[in-house]
């Protein structure tokens, strides 16, 4: 995974030490409530970093790790169990890399274009991968509308217009990925961008949004789909607006 494993494991270990459970002084030993080794302010500060690590390593930890003991034993019980699970994942990942010498590049959603990841982040972290991709598509569409100042068209029709090889018209600006030099390259680049955008919305966004009863996407497939919208977002952001 695309993460500094040594650093992440050190942060998790530090949090486990801070939240180590022990009987609070002055209470009967029969009490089920436990206190922590570290102070509350220090633990809360550490939790801000730890939660981001957990979101990367165990995206569904908030729902998959029980919080039943938070009230009865200690408010950090769910965090502690999630941290222990995440540390095991990181340890095994490091071991696999070392044993197999796997140097394949790692794809991180957080490294994708911000339009795609910002749109998907909250749903992705709760394990709603298909909805997360749909949200990313909506974000890319909205940002493209903002760039060309159009609200009358959206999605496929929008990208057919903005990447058209035809000259801009009043109320119909174009997005140019390169200067119009009347070359085959210019025509190819914009024809390809238009076709790619059509594929993203017709082949990914529409089925995800309009087909009822679809099973949840496996995370790796959702990541591939999210990457497609990231590519489209980078093209749109880097393009020059050509007005009539």
* 168-207 b/e (C-beta count within 10 Å ≥ 16 → b): beeebbbbbeeeeeeeeebeebbeebbeebbebbeebbee
| Amino acid 213: pLDDT | 74
Retrieve residue 115's tokens: 């339009």
Q: Residue 105: which pLDDT band, with cuts at 50, 70 and 90?
A: low
Which residue is it, tokens 């909506």? Answer: 138
| Amino acid 26: pLDDT | 60
Does the pLDDT value for residue 201 go beyond 80?
yes
Nearest C-alpha neighbor of 232 from the set 212, 202, 211? 202
Helix segments in 31-113, DSSP class H: 40-57, 61-64, 69-72, 77-100
Cα(24)–Cα(26) distance, integer angstroms: 6
Does the pLDDT value for residue 209 go beyond 90?
no
Cα(7)–Cα(42) distance, integer angstroms: 18
Cα dihedral 198→233→111→178 (10° resolution)? 110
| Amino acid 1: pLDDT | 54
Give the global pTM: 0.63
Cα(204)–Cα(155) distance, integer angstroms: 12
Mean pLDDT across the stretch 141-164?
96
Does the pLDDT value for residue 78 go beyond 90?
yes
Residue 95 makes CB contacts below 8 A (sequence gap 6+) with none
Mean pLDDT across the stretch 174-183?
94
- Give the mean pLDDT of the chain: 90
- List phi, psi (to 5°) of 4: -75, 100
Does the pLDDT value for residue 103 go beyond 80?
no
Cα(81)–Cα(60) distance, integer angstroms: 13
Cα(15)–Cα(39) distance, integer angstroms: 11
| Amino acid 214: pLDDT | 80
| Amino acid 153: pLDDT | 94
Q: Residue 100: which pLDDT band, with cuts at 50, 70 and 90?
A: low
Residue 6 makes CB contacts below 8 A (sequence gap 6+) with none
Mean pLDDT across the stretch 121-147?
94
Mean pLDDT across the stretch 68-72?
91
* Percent of the chain residues past pLDDT 70, beyond the cut: 91
Q: Residue 108: which pLDDT band, with cuts at 50, 70 and 90?
A: confident
Does the pLDDT value for residue 96 go beyond 90?
no
Q: Residue 107: which pLDDT band, with cuts at 50, 70 and 90?
A: confident
């Amino acid at each position: 995974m695309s993460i500094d494993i040594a650093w992440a494991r050190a942060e998790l270990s530090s949090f486990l030490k801070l939240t180590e459970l022990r009987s609070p002084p002055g209470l009967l030993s029969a009490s089920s409530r436990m206190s922590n080794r570290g102070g509350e302010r220090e633990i809360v500060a550490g939790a801000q970093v730890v939660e981001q690590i957990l979101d990367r390593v165990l995206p569904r930890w908030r729902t998959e790790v029980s919080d039943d003991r938070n009230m009865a034993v200690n408010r950090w019980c769910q965090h502690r169990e999630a941290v222990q699970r995440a540390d095991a994942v990181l340890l095994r990942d490091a071991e696999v890399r070392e044993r197999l010498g796997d140097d394949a590049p790692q794809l991180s959603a957080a490294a994708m274009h911000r339009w795609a990841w910002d749109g998907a982040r909250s749903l992705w972290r709760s394990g709603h991968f298909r909805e997360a991709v749909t949200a990313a598509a909506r974000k890319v569409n909205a940002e493209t509308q903002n760039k060309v100042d159009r609200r009358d068209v959206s999605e496929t029709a929008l990208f057919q217009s903005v990447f058209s090889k035809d000259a801009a018209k009043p109320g119909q600006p174009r997005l140019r990925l390169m200067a119009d030099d009347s070359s085959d390259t210019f025509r190819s680049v914009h024809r390809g961008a238009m076709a790619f955008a059509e594929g993203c919305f017709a082949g990914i966004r529409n089925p995800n949004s309009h087909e009822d009863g679809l099973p949840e996407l496996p995370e790796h497939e959702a990541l591939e789909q999210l990457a497609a919208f990231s590519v489209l977002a980078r093209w749109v952001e880097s393009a020059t607006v050509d007005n009539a």
